[in-house]
Amino acid sequence: MRNIVSICVLLSFLAGCFATQEDVAVLNSRVSNLESSVAKLEVTPKKIDSIDARLKSIEGKLQALDLLKGNYKSIEDTVNGLREDVYKMRGDIDSVYTELDLLKQRLSALENALLNIGESIKKLPQANGTKSNLIDEAEKTAASGNYTGAIAIYEKYITDNPKDPKIADYSYRLAELYFIAGRYKEAIIRFEDYRARYPDHSKIPASYLKEAIAFEKIGDRKSRDILLKMLMDKYPNSKEAQEAKKILGMKK
């Protein structure tokens, strides 16, 4: 720093100015100030390094925070997905309970109707003739519009001849006669009984369709829709399934 003084004195001399003792004192003061400023400047890099370290620490914390935000978003998405699954499961459970209630109602109706049918069978007039003649007689009776008489003959015949090779055909026909006669609750019971006894019979798809229509006739569309969907699921290529789609307003 003393070099600065020498330079200043030299410059003053060259300019034609002779430095006085007072001037030298002023210059010394300036030099001291400059030295003090330089000393302060020498400390500044350390402060800068400290500030830089703090900034890096803050940046690290921000990155960690961003990572936490990302994890939070992932967790939030997972929770939302689980919540949707729970809602769906709750809806499925409600649907199962609804169908179970319907089945219970149908079972109760079936039990009551079977009791009534049993009592009715006891009161039926005796049908006379051979097996083939009895079935012919039942069909002639139905053709005349006397469905009650035809039903009576079929009921008696099925009860007395459970091992007849054509018993599945006759059981379906009995249910169908109840349906044609407009006795829909009894038709529903007979169609249910027919399917339970002869699940592989050729008329099973038709029984689903007719029973579904019977439920509609008594104002139970929920049961109707359940049966129609079962029909479409089990026999998708049947003509009855195509009819079911029409009833439900679905495209082919």
Same domain, yes or no: 137 and 215: yes
Per-residue pLDDT band for 227 (boundaries 50, 70, 90) equals very high
Per-residue pLDDT band for 155 (boundaries 50, 70, 90) equals very high
Residue 137 is part of a domain; what is its CATH number? 1.25.40.10
**Any domain includes 180:** yes
**Any domain includes 85:** yes
Q: What is the pLDDT of residue 72?
A: 58
Do 188 and 215 form a contact (C-beta atoms < 8 A)?
yes
Three-class SS state of 25: helix
Residue 106: phi and psi, rounded to 5, are: -65, -40
What angle do helix axes 147-160 and 131-143 make, rounded to 10 degrees? 160
Residue 210, pLDDT > 70, answer yes
**pLDDT tens digit sequence for 27-85:** 667 667 666 665 655 545 666 677 767 777 777 777 776 666 666 566 667 767 766 76
Rounded mean pLDDT, 225-232: 96
Cα-only R_g, the chain? 50
Rounded Cα distance, 228 and 209, in Å = 7
**Any domain includes 231:** yes
Same domain, yes or no: 152 and 61: no
Residue-number span of the structural domain to which 235 is assigned: 124-247
Domain count, the chain: 2
**pLDDT tens digit sequence for 158-181:** 999 999 999 999 999 999 999 999
- Final residue of a structural domain among 65, 80, 108: 108
Same domain, yes or no: 91 and 197: no
> Which token pair is 185?
């609750």
**Any domain includes 151:** yes
Instruction: Please give the torsion angle defined by the CA atoms of residues 80, 83, 88 and 91, in that order, rounded to the nearest 10 degrees.
Output: -140
Same domain, yes or no: 152 and 221: yes
**Any domain includes 252:** no
